[in-house]
Amino acid sequence: MDYLFIYGTLLMQENPWGMYLSQQSEMVCQAKLSGFLYDAGEYPGAIYVPESDSYIYGSVMTLQNPDEALRIMDQYEGFGSEESQPNEFIRRKLAVKSDIGPLTCWVYLYNWSTQGLSRINSGDYLKFRFENT
């Protein structure tokens, strides 16, 4: 089973890419990833810090057609050798803590410097967006 942990704009139904993902996958559970979340302007950036007591909150999706879905999501996230280098986001398989236990998921992580970016202390992008609109 291929899982994708989403924590940012893909959670928003008004986002066409999020709508695509909701049609091509199924939400499994809520989850959290150790690390920090930053406001990169129009979207958040997650930095994985395995030993952190801080978390990034999101949802785990099960991908019905993983190769196709990840190819589409890679385009959205600007990940791949054909994209400008270094990629702003990289895709890694990481363990997340979920409502149903630990799961290994694909996660898009922010790959650029966070210098000058504001940290989203709650680790919850949707809550941050709601409070800042």
Q: Hey, where are the domains in the chain?
A: 3-131
Domain 3-131 has CATH 3.10.490.10: yes
Predicted model pTM: 0.95
The mean pLDDT value of the chain amounts to: 95
Closest CA to 68 of 8, 112, 24, 122: 24
Q: Note the pLDDT of residue 1.
A: 80
pLDDT at 131: 86
Q: What is the pLDDT of residues 118-133, one digit of tens each?
A: 999 999 999 998 888 6
| Predicted pLDDT at 129 | 87
Q: For 7-62, what is each residue's pLDDT tens digit?
A: 999 999 889 999 999 898 999 999 999 999 999 999 999 999 999 999 999 999 99
User: Given its phi and psi angles, is residue 31 left (phi above 0), alpha (psi -120 to 50 degrees) or beta?
Assistant: beta
Closest of 63, 57, 62, 132 to residue 98, by C-alpha: 57
